Amino acid sequence: MKIFLDTADVAEIREYAASGLVDGVTTNPSLAAKAGKDYVESLKEICSIVPGAVSGEVLATDFAGMMKEAEVLRKIAANIAVKVPLTWDGLKACAKLSGEGTMVNVTLCFSPVQAWMAAKAGATFISPFIGRVDDMGEDGLGLIHDIRAVYDNYNFKTEILAASIRSVSHVRECLLAGADVATMPASIFKALISHPLTDKGLAAFMADAKKANVTIKGA
């Protein structure tokens, strides 16, 4: 499963991309505003840092407006994925853009039927919002399982990009459910390798090494 960071903080992206573990970025104008940067300029910089897909979201809600904004976004870099909403105009734009060779991320997905429609429109990525589904009292991870089953049944190549991830447990369940990508804030990315037994084991190992006066000569 690929890891995307859900942020527009360029310094944050640069820091964690250096680990070699970040495969892409999802962002939107709201995240860029929080980071205090112009959206297009922010996307240019992010695309230069991350080799994988970088989602840039349109603001328009009508087909013509989406296509006009998409024209600006896809000129930024080859790894831009234009993010459009899961509406009739959004799917129309998706079909047009994907037909022209542009990656498209269809966002705000809340049902397997919506995901099916996005795949038929040629979406590169579908973004089910599992946390928001949970907030409604429904099963966000169940949605990932259902979309996986639909896509596997019909050999769709659209990648399931799990979004609205709230915890490390969400990431674990996405792995088990067969999501292709999980996008998450940096706080969750940092927590992925944390475990109290790892910390305890390392402390014991270091204490034993110090007690035995063990060194690695030449280092």
Closest CA to 106 of 131, 80, 85: 85
Residues in the chain: 219
DSSP alpha helix (H) spans, the chain: 10-17, 29-35, 39-49, 63-73, 88-99, 112-120, 130-135, 140-154, 168-177, 186-191, 196-211
**Which of these is catalytic: 83, 96, 120, 190?**
83
Owner of token pair 């799917």: 91
Q: How many CA atoms lie within 13 A of 9 on its CB side?
A: 12
2 is catalytic: no
Residues 103 and 125: beta-carbon distance below 8 Å: yes
The Cα 4–Cα 160 span in angstroms is 12
The Cα 85–Cα 71 span in angstroms is 16
What is residue 6's DSSP assignment? Answer: E
Owner of token pair 């899961």: 86
What are the catalytic residues?
Answer: 83
